[in-house]
Amino acid sequence: MELQRLILKNKNKIALISGVLIAAAFLNHWLMHVPVISELFLISASVIGVLPIAIQAYQALRVKVVSIDVLVTIAVIGAFAIRNFEESAVVTFLFLFGAYLEQRTLNKTRSAIKELTEMAPEVALKLMEDGEFAEVDVDDVDIGDVLLVKTGAKVPVDGTVVAGEGSVNQASITGESIPVLKEQGSKVFAGTILDNGTLQIVAERVGEDTTFGRIIELVEEAQDSKSEAERFIDRFAKYYTPAVLVLAFIVWLFSKDVELAITILVLGCPGALVIGVPVSHVAGIGNGARHGILLKGSEVISDFSRVDTFVFDKTGTLTVGEPEVAYKEYYGEEVDRALSYLASIERESDHPLAKAVLEEIGETQLYPVENTQVVKGGGIIADVDGHSVIVGNMSLMEREQVELDSKMRLRVAELEQSGHSLVLTAVDRQLKVVMGVRDQVREGVKEDLRKLKKLGVKHLVMLSGDNQGTVDAVSRELGLTEAHGNLLPEDKSAYVKKLMESGRIVAFVGDGVNDSPSLAYANIGIAMGSGTDVAIETSDVVLMNSDFSLLPVALGLAKAISRNMKQNIVIAVGVVLVLLFSLIFGSWMNMSIGMLVHEGSILLVILNGMRLLRYGLKR
Q: What amino acid positions are annotated as catalytic residues?
A: 313
The residues near 390 (Cβ < 8 Å, ≥ 6 apart) are 379, 380, 381, 396, 397, 400, 402, 424, 425, 426, 429
The residues near 166 (Cβ < 8 Å, ≥ 6 apart) are 149, 151, 181, 182, 194, 195, 196, 197, 198, 199
Residues in the chain: 619
Element (H, E) at 325: strand 324-330
- Burial per residue of 170-195, b for 16 or more beta-carbon CB atoms within 10 angstroms, e otherwise: bbbbbbbeebbebeeebebbbbbbbe
CA–CA gap between residue 389 and residue 47 (Å, rounded): 93
Strand intervals (E) in 256-322: 293-295, 309-313
Indicate the SS3 state at residue 307.
coil
Q: Determine phi and psi for 6, rounding to 5 degrees.
A: -65, -45
CA–CA gap between residue 222 and residue 576 (Å, rounded): 30
Q: Say how many Å lie between the first and final Cα of the chain, rounded.
A: 52
Beta-carbon count within 10 A of 210 CB? 26
CA–CA gap between residue 334 and residue 348 (Å, rounded): 23
> Could you please report the per-residue DSSP string of 378-415?
TEEEEEETTEEEEEE-HHHHHHTT-B--HHHHHHHHHH
Query: Dihedral through CA 74, CA 270, CA 229, CA 565, nearest 10?
Result: 150
Picking from 305, 286, 288, 308, the residue whose alpha carbon sits closest to that of residue 229 is 305
Amino acid at 253: L
Half-sphere exposure of 327 (CA within 13 A, CB side): 17
Q: Determine phi and psi for 134, rounding to 5 degrees.
A: -125, 145
Cβ atoms of residues 190 and 156 within 8 Å: yes
Indicate the SS3 state at residue 98.
helix
Alpha helices by DSSP H, listed for 63-170, are 68-81, 85-109, 111-118
Picking from 188, 214, 212, 210, the residue whose alpha carbon sits closest to that of residue 201 is 188
Q: Determine phi and psi for 433, rounding to 5 degrees.
A: -135, 135
Radius of gyration of the chain (CA): 33
Q: Which residues is 607 bridged to in the sheet?
A: none
